[in-house]
Structure 1
């Protein structure tokens, strides 16, 4: 025997010979089609198993017109939200016998998105999830690819592409009502990126709530969703805005970055400043203090995005409901504001604590 001989994969003809049937009958069994009696089907299945037959994906796609693959264009996988949504997509495609093809963007530009979509289509996908910002989508030519179902993961969508997102309103309004009911009058917002529809929607909800409650609407500081940017924005906020008693952050990472800035400045959470995040990431429940936040199920957003595309492809009879609702989760990072005047916070920052207590109670 030649030790370098390459083992040849079993063909449909091999299976047909072993089972004593035609290749057409094997094809019907492999593709789970009717008009094969039970005994013949069992014989073919035994032959498939014995020979270790594996379907050729290219041949299957030619025969069925489907690659059974969903493409994903991801602008970032460093933020917590996109990673959870991708996890939900992976779970859902597996449930329906599909797979994912991931194409990260080198840069968030029209050319990069067009190149990513073309690459996915060239490799063989049935539909695409676009994890890009709404402003970028608005600059894209239409249609992206004629006949290609698409969903967008940034909260606005369009007549061309439905949006796969959660509804921040129920949870975020409940969180801000909680702060206002505690007695907070100086609510500030650490906002997400200005080019994000998701961040813009949360900012609008915060602004509208403050206006309706007669609270000051102070221009938010903008972050990039990261804990580092929350720390930087928090540093600036604590330096320049000593009146703040509560902060609503763009997400939990920004909130925890702000909590770190407070700790470095000797500002106590929640005694001096209450903090609310958004997302309810795993470590929000083990932070010190445990973080009050808005929970929305990003894995479910990813699952529904896949179900939306499978509906558009005619695989599933019903489209999912949009958006996925949110809810407020109360933990330890919120409390009533101080009832007695506090000392003016020091501007010596960073590295110098603001005293043993930044506010007397």
Structure 2
């Protein structure tokens, strides 16, 4: 029996027009209404007109690449590399290129689920999810269920810089070793003699934030030191600026600041300069990711390099089948410490 848009509307107790707005994402809809519609779509297995059984083995030439913020170089680099690899990869069904579509969620869990539903309806050949995931049990369960339906319908799923889906080896995952990278960065500062280190963290509900903070605190614990002051915020320059002022308020004697990423580090540097402090003579600053501008900052940023372009390209090849999945479905990509001019021994160290 064919499931229609009207069937979904009846199940969700909304109008067909509202269902269309939710699935097309072209008109604002209340979050509670959106959730009802998406739940009805899942319950009825509404994909496209036609029996669900005929869709199980049918996929289009579409590949979706989900990012939190396309303006953030972290996501832009991975998405661009993935798109290039998809275009250069296996041909589409008619002999032409597969079409890579970048879906910008803005960090919204609702938008992430909406895009996954839209890609399911379009019978996407593959979906690449980039960056850390939201640490909310309900959202994790909803995404896992959606990914399972996509894979059941023949869609390849690739995670790039995102933790693997527990118990699902059919989903290829390229994970970044954020813990080890943050630990090495903290050990570098400790080796220089820093003992009063502030930390500007990312959003508290993201896996990337937790893993990097855990690595930092593991290094402190191994050195017999307590956790230093920590401030959470978005992964942007303004957050780095405001958080650094707060860290200095909490501990005016800080000798080093670790930032959640290089963009946040730029904000931290600006705040220190506005307070009349020199980098690294008064306060050392370190970032994370090795974004393209980090080496051109003044002074050049000590950071942790993640091979974003290489990871994105590999995700694209996995999506179109020109590279075999890693054994067990999961590969951990190492992080490399890059020591530059923004870190030095504190003045109080001998």
Alignment TM-score, normalising by the size of structure 1? 0.69
Deviation per CA, 1:120-175, whole angstroms, max 9, x where unpaired?
23334201112462425513161243333223345322134443332134443332
Distance 1:207 1:173 in 2: 8
- Could you say which structure has the greater relative contact order, defined with CA pairs below 8 angstroms and 6 or more residues apart? 2
**1:108-147 alignment runs, 5 A limit:** 108-110=108-110, 112-131=111-130, 133-135=133-135, 137-140=139-142, 142=145, 143-145=148-150, 146-147=152-153
Of residues 26, 48, 71, the one that matches 2:64 is: 71
* d(CA) in 2 for partners of 1:95, 1:232: 43
Matched, 1:338 2:350: no
Cα deviation per residue 1:284-329 (whole Å; 9 max; x = unaligned)?
1111111111111111221222233334xxx544538622211111
Conserved? CA contact 1:223–1:254, under 8 Å: no
Q: Which runs of 5+ in 2 are unaligned?
A: 1-54, 92-97
> Could you tell me how far apart the structure 2 residues matched to 1:190 and 1:106 are?
21
The alpha carbon displacement at 1:239 in A equals: 2.0
Aligned residue in 2 for 1:103: 103
Contact 2:179 2:214 in 1 (8 A): no
Per the alignment, residue 86 of structure 1 pairs with 79
Q: CA deviation at 1:240?
A: 2.1
Of 171, 174, 179 in structure 1, the residue corresponding to residue 189 of structure 2 is: 179
Larger Rg: 1
Aligned CA RMSD, in angstroms, stands at 2.5
**Is 2:216 the counterpart of 1:223?**
no
Q: Which residue does 1:322 correspond to in 2?
A: 331
Verify the 8 A CA contact 1:193 1:223 in the aligned structure 2.
Answer: yes
Change (3 A) 1:107 1:180: closer
Task: Say if 1:300 and 1:324, in contact at 8 Å, map to a contact too.
Answer: no
Runs in 1 of length 4+ with deviation above 6 angstroms? none
2:287 is the alignment partner of 1:288: no
Please say if residues 78 and 308 of structure 2, whose CA atoms lie closer than 8 Å, have aligned partners that are also in contact: yes
Evaluate the alpha carbon distance shift between residue 178 and residue 218 of structure 1 in structure 2; reply closer, same or farther with a 3 A threshold: closer
Corresponding position of 1:235? 245
**TM-score, structure 2 normalization:** 0.71
Matches within 5 A, 1:13-32: none
Match of 2:163 in 1: 156
